[in-house]
Amino acid sequence: MSPRNAATRVSGMVERPPGFCYRESKDSRGRGSALYCENVSLNHLAKQYGTPLYVYSTATIRARLSAFEKAFRHFPHTICYSVKANSNLSILRLLARAGCGFDVVSGGELERVLRADRRGARKIVFSGVGKSADEMLMALKAGILLFNVESESELSVLAECAARLRKEARVALRVNPDVDARTHPYISTGLHKHKFGIPIASARSLYAQAAGIKYLKVAGVSVHIGSQITDVEPFAEAVTRVADLIRQLSADGHTIELVDVGGGVGIAYEQREVDFADHVARYASGVTGPLRELKVHLLLEPGRAIIGPAGVLLTSVLYRKRNDGKRFLVVDAAMNDLMRPALYGAYHEIVPVDIKSETEPQEVVDVVGPVCESGDFLGRDRNLPPVEEGDLLAVLDTGAYGMALASNYNTRPRPAEVLVSGKSAKLIRRREKVRDLLSTEL
């Protein structure tokens, strides 16, 4: 049996090509398979940088970005990567060099993009329901592409900021189309009961108001219905409603140049992902179909779909433990390092870095961390081959909302991050030390 088939025996979804695949290996205990990031051994990275450790694949990022570019090649568009998914400066630089713009939701994210690409402001979209005046002033000074405005009050504050600087602010109203995204309720944003956006039925009057304000320029319409959406239909339904609104706005005398359809394309955490290029092509068809005759430029804000499968979290097994018949693997990564399982009940595939035998029996275990919370788990009731204390596990699909949501709960320093490209591995964030956490306290 080949190493790849051996890996499949452990789990149906252990590999994430082109970034993460098993290769035949040999150690003191005999032959087996070991997980690599591109051409770099994850065992080697764990020894060099310690655990917990986030590892990202450049090849995966580029491949998934390329899939978006190919799918939308026949429609004028700009990919504005959603910085909140993963905001590491090295990853932002990689995306900027590939031609990406950026979607930011805070002044801090704006500063990160400008650090990564000093000329990147021309492709920045500023979203978010609670922009402060200071953040607006910062964005105006930088000369960003577009403000996605979410309320009448926000529009007034932006007008005051633009007048103060005597700089034009290009605006789109984020409309709420009342479309069910069919995703987790915490990351669904397109229904009237959510805090986001302006009811689409109220948009025309607010556009008329914006058009009459000096230093504001009506430039587009924005919509975003949620995150981790795996069905094309909600996107198509939302954009169809936006297209109807654009026709009405054009009849009112507005020139709509930009349509921001947000992000939200999901990934397959639990079942084998269908061909990603085909998935994005179906998404592109659903989104562009209603806009074909409107002569607009499309803004896309993928985040998770690009960076999610490009990352893994490496963690070491500290202890094996049994409570009556319940088995636990206590690892050195915790809910502060990866919040998604505790916050959303989210599923991440967990696999051993080393597969020692093709025929090892499975055992059912909970993979838990050292934080003093019962909610501190990375996976419950997982089928894994016997794992020993000191072995390495990889938590897959953690490139998005992994390090971005990490905290210092229990005064735990956050992990290091490494970016792999081919045979090279670069440390892109050093591991925090406790003294770093104490340095701001008086």
Cα 102 to Cα 235: distance, rounded to the nearest angstrom: 20
The confidence score (pLDDT) of residue 177 equals 82
CATH number of the domain where residue 410 is located: 2.40.37.10
Same domain? 42 vs 64: no
Query: Residue 136 belongs to what H/E stretch?
Result: helix 133-142
At 376, the amino acid letter reads D
Backbone angles phi, psi at 325, to 5 degrees: -90, 0
- Of 21, 80, 100, 372, the catalytic one is 372
Cα 174 to Cα 429: distance, rounded to the nearest angstrom: 34
Beta-ladder partners of 425:
420
Structure token pair of residue 67: 């899939």
Cα 337 to Cα 429: distance, rounded to the nearest angstrom: 14
Measured between its terminal Cα atoms, the distance across the chain in Å is 60
Same domain? 345 vs 292: no
Same domain? 86 vs 158: yes
pLDDT digits (tens, 9 = 90+) for 337-379: 999 999 989 999 999 999 987 677 889 999 999 999 999 999 9
How far, CA to CA in Å, does 272 sit from each of 13, 117, 279?
A: 6, 35, 13
Cα 170 to Cα 299: distance, rounded to the nearest angstrom: 14
Same domain? 92 vs 121: yes
CATH number of the domain where residue 217 is located: 3.20.20.10
Same domain? 325 vs 373: yes
Burial annotation 240-268 (CB, 10 A radius, 16+ → b, else e)? bbbbebbeebeeeebebbbbbbbbbbbbb
Instruction: Tell me, yes or no, if 80 is annotated catalytic.
Output: no
Same domain? 98 vs 140: yes
Q: Which among 308, 335, 363 is the end of a domain?
A: 308
Same domain? 401 vs 431: yes
Same domain? 138 vs 221: yes
Same domain? 357 vs 276: no
Same domain? 163 vs 270: yes
Cα-only R_g, the chain: 23
Query: Residue 160 belongs to what H/E stretch?
Result: helix 152-165
Structure token pair of residue 338: 């990866």
The confidence score (pLDDT) of residue 29 equals 54
Same domain? 274 vs 332: no
Q: Which domain holds residue 164?
A: 59-308
Same domain? 243 vs 145: yes
pLDDT digits (tens, 9 = 90+) for 142-162: 999 999 999 999 999 999 999
Q: Which among 261, 282, 308 is the end of a domain?
A: 308
Q: Which residues of the chain have pLDDT under 70?
A: 1-13, 26-31, 180-196, 271-273, 358
**Tally of domains in the chain:** 2
Burial of 215: CB neighbours in 10 Å, binned 0-12, 13-18, 19+: middle
The confidence score (pLDDT) of residue 3 equals 38
Q: Which among 251, 281, 308 is the end of a domain?
A: 308
